[in-house]
Structure 1
Amino acid sequence: MRSMPDDLDIDLDGLTVGQVSTWVGVTVRALHHWDEIGLARPSLRTPAGYRLYTAGDLERLHRIVVYREVGLGLDKIRAVLDGSTADVPGALRAQRAQVTERIERLHRLGAGLDRMIDAHERGLLLTVEQQAAIFGSGWNPDWPAQARRRYGDTPQWQQYAERSAARSPEEWQAVAAAVSALDLALADAMDAGVEPGGPEANRLVERHREVFAAYFPLSRRMQVCLARMYEADPAYAAHYDGIRPGFAAWFRRAVDESARAHGIDPATATWE
């Protein structure tokens, strides 16, 4: 709020709403509203009927602006100014408690935004030690950065980052356990001679989509592309064939047959 100049003769002439708006630092619309609700009404009128503000009016406006800036609502401001509340310090303490709560909430929001930014940039918000403990000694801590460079501009990376930002190490441990259990179930099915395209293989393919949803939703077409990469990419193939020799190729065939059962040609499936 601007201070009033000492040489302005407001007692004699008063100030128009436009002048008050400039000096007090509030909009004309706000002044009209406060006038309409009886919070701050100009005390004088010109012969033509225009309202003018006196020094006393300006003092009340000053107090309104001060209390509004500390967050009091107009009803509370009216109660303070008109003396209908005797406990002004109590009202201000209550407002201070609300401000403190709002500040704490904003700090939590800021921390959440920091985690979201980190997740979009790094993918996995775990230390190298945590990653090794959760995902095992075969885990490469460079993989998240590689995935960010490869997929960082995709909707799936954004979905993965959103999940990662909200996930604790314990929750990541549960995800890793679910993935390991699925890999073993798939490998056991292959060892048991389960044929791709059969009911048991199709059930496990569906379970793979459900487990993978911990990272991002996986369509059947995307699953075909993923299984194809598991077999063709040397790093992925080594991982899955390390669980059972031939696992990567068997899983790719199982996914292909499941896709065909749903009217999808694996040869033409794309990441969508």
Structure 2
Amino acid sequence: MKVKEVADLVGISVRTLHHYDEIGLLTPDETTEAGYRLYSDDNLETLQQILFFKELGFPLKKIKEIINSPSFDRREALKLHRKMLVEKRTRLDKMISTIDKTIEHKKGAIQMTNKEKFEGFDFSQNPYEKEARERWGDEAVDRSNAKLKSMTEEERKALGDRMNEIYRNLADLRDTSPESEEAQAAIKEWYDFLNSDSGNHYSLEAFKGLGQMYVDDERFTKNIDQFGEGLSRFMRDAMAVYADKNKE
């Protein structure tokens, strides 16, 4: 199948398929002399796997590592996809039920307890924690978790408010040069926040690498760009400038 046919079949853009090819995530089995990409049935199966992983929040870089691993087993991967999607569906069903009950509660048709108002929400596990441990090690994550657990609810809320304030300030500057004094002052606030309030200590090099992750990891990009389109890229560039300028 040609790239346009695959795009129409799956419901994704031709540009996305080209990007997957460029980063080595999904390379078509054949390319004609005229340069047309031709996808085999095996390519389509791989694409299905990629999209399942993507639906579950895996970044493209991680998906590439998984499917290119010598130990990767498609059948086992499908079983894992199913298990995770069923868990996700169960949680979403609970949240939908909570919404329906809340609507009836607002109408005065039923009464809800405070506990019932939050059924379906589950913050007991951080979906990024395993990957964070792989990237930065157990000590850094445990230190951060210990810092958060030691805080009162009010302190945690204040921490979140401060973080959002920094994001909004940076979002207002995202159309300026990342090298400008204002941008560098704002990104210094982010560096200081991470090192003083999160329980971590980022070296300048680690800070620069973290900025790159904001762009490489789609989950970070999506969350950060909620404050303004392109904010993740601006922060990456400003963090790189800050790290380079402040090296001893």
TM bin (shorter chain) = 0.3 to 0.5
TM-score w.r.t. the length of structure 2 is: 0.45
Higher RCO by CA contacts (8 Å cutoff, separation 6 or greater): 2
TM-score (norm: length of structure 1) = 0.42
